[in-house]
Structure 1
Amino acid sequence: MTTVPAVSPAPSAAPAAGSPAEAAAPRRRRFPAWLAVVPLLAFTALSFGVPALAMLNGAFTAKDPSGGASHYTTANMTASLGGAYLTALTGSVKLSAVSAVIAAVLGLLLGQAVVTSRHQTLREAVLTASGVLANFGGVPLAFAFVATLGNAGVLTTHLHLADHGWSLYSFWGLVITYLYFLIPLMVLTVVPALDGLRAQWREAAQNNGATTFQYWRHVALPVLTPSLLGGFVLLFGSAFAAYATAAAMVGSSVPLVTLQIADAISGNVLIGQENVALALSLDMVLVAGLVMAVYLPLQRRSARWLD
């Protein structure tokens, strides 16, 4: 009995070019890649572009008290850069810069301690707490500090801080309050950069006779400079735009531009100063843009160490 080998069916031939089967197959349309970002651009234009244009238009617009007609003028910008408004703008810049510098230094030291720690549980606990504290602000933060370091606060009473000239409702009181959420924010910013420092770099520096100070000065800090600058800009912006904490804690005792904007809008001091408030907001945008203009060239120059 002989067995006939099974013959596999021949594969179907592909349709020839120009055949009816190929003509019936749907053609895939290729859209330009930039169409994928159109929703993001539209959202950005609506969220940031429209308010920016409204602020820019209002900053250079004034209404005639008698007829109510609007006309363009530079009086609002001139008023925002003089008198109490200029004092408030200068105070906000000073407060933000001092708070950002102190928080950047302390956040770097705390981040380095977390990265070099051998206990993974400690690292996770610090990063988790930093994520929570970085978003803790506003009226609850002001109330916590008033209850702790205010005139009748717990620590103020037990340590007799008032006898040594301590006052929470001052410039340095605001600095200490802002550090409560700025230092955790810096930790979250700098820890990924510290993780990028290679152990081989430290070993090579030690093999060449470099001290710890020389390693940080010539190797680690130049590499970390872009991240440190970015963290400083982020901290400066967070402190510069903070309002609720300062409003609930110091009121008008410390001149700040955000408090001046609120007073101008609500008419607490003068009535009809809404456009001056928009001019003050434009001043804040210009200050933030100036900080970014200084940061970007330094970031490009320092980023060469990472190439």
Structure 2
Amino acid sequence: MGVLAVEAFRAVDPVTFEESWSTANIGTITGGAYARAYLGSLQLSAVTAVLGAVLGLALAFAVARSRRGRLLRRLVLTASGVLANFGGIPLAFAFIATIGTAGVVTALLTGPLGLDGFSLYSTTGLAVVYLYFLVPLMVLTILPAIEALRPQWREASDVSGAGGWQYWRYVGGPVLAPPVLGATVLLFASAFAAYATAKALVGSSVPLVTLQIADSLSSNVVVGAENLGKALALGMVGLVGLVMVFYTWVQRRTSRWLS
């Protein structure tokens, strides 16, 4: 981070090749294709974080309320631990071989289910792939909070004559809100920082800041713009830092409620 903070403000004269301090790189990344890349990453991360939170929360509730109890919980947590860490190029290849243009499932379902209009190599397809590891991550994060809801709270609510909606409105909902919000923020940060899967799946066809950073550091760079990729990375670190500060604050409130 220290290197990024220094190098992002260095500029090279394209004629004399002399280095100087400048905010030109920071100004460049706030407009044009770079601004679209930031916006694309923010939109994709926000959508997948919300969808992953909703689906993961529903799955976690199903596991917590299941009659099979501990066995199902261990199975789901084990599977979630594996899937939440299964990403990068292997994940992209798995989806390409399954629902890609010539994938096995695509060949079977094209026509009957209208799969013709779906493209894996788009923002929508990338969102589907992201959900593959975001939903298990949500389950791992939120299940302990769900199981920390004390049965005595529900019993006291029933004795007081409150219905199910009132219990969740005044007791369960406020208690679960901080951990759910914190887990959603964690999903957002995870999706925002993802790179290898997007690179292998969509290349440069979808504007994402992680892909722009890779192009700036590895492709042919214009003279005088050598540190542009570092400025992009610094902006990304700043955004993720803000997200994680908010996540830490939410986690403190969560621990206070559930202690």
| Corresponding residue of 1:133 | 83
Alpha-carbon contact 2:9-2:21 (below 8 Å) kept: yes
Unaligned 5+ segments in structure 1 are 1-51
1:211 offset after TM fit, Å?
2.6
1:267 offset after TM fit, Å?
2.1
Alpha-carbon contact 1:229-1:299 (below 8 Å) kept: no
Unaligned 5+ segments in structure 2 are none
Report the TM-score when normalising by structure 1: 0.78
Matches within 5 A, 1:81-100: 81-100=30-49
Q: 1:230 to 1:68 in 2, by over 3 A?
A: same
Matches within 5 A, 1:1-307: 52-119=1-68, 120-160=70-110, 164-268=116-220, 270=222, 273-295=225-247, 305-306=257-258
Give 1:71's aligned amino acid.
Answer: S
Does the residue aligned with 2:11 lie in a helix, a strand or coil?
Answer: strand
Deviations 1:247-295 (A, max 9, x none): 0001111100000001111125746633111111111122123334545
Which has the higher relative contact order, 1 or 2, with Cα contacts under 8 A spaced 6 or more apart? 2
Alpha-carbon contact 1:225-1:299 (below 8 Å) kept: no
Alpha-carbon contact 1:264-1:270 (below 8 Å) kept: no
Deviations 1:124-155 (A, max 9, x none): 11100000111000000000111111111122
Using the alignment, how far apart are the partners of 1:162 and 1:255 within structure 2?
27
Deviations 1:11-51 (A, max 9, x none): xxxxxxxxxxxxxxxxxxxxxxxxxxxxxxxxxxxxxxxxx
Using the alignment, how far apart are the partners of 1:209 and 1:268 within structure 2?
70
Does the residue aligned with 1:62 lie in a helix, a strand or coil?
Answer: strand
1:216 offset after TM fit, Å?
2.0
Count of residue pairs the alignment pairs up: 256
Give 1:83's aligned amino acid.
Answer: G
Q: 1:122 to 1:302 in 2, by over 3 A?
A: closer
Does the residue aligned with 2:34 lie in a helix, a strand or coil?
Answer: helix
Q: 1:167 to 1:268 in 2, by over 3 A?
A: farther
Does the residue aligned with 2:227 lie in a helix, a strand or coil?
Answer: helix
Does the residue aligned with 2:20 lie in a helix, a strand or coil?
Answer: strand
Using the alignment, how far apart are the partners of 1:271 and 1:172 within structure 2?
36
Deviations 1:152-188 (A, max 9, x none): 1122221116654111111111111001001111111
What value does the CA root-mean-square deviation take over the aligned residues?
2.0
* Higher-Rg member (1/2): 1
| Corresponding residue of 1:6 | none
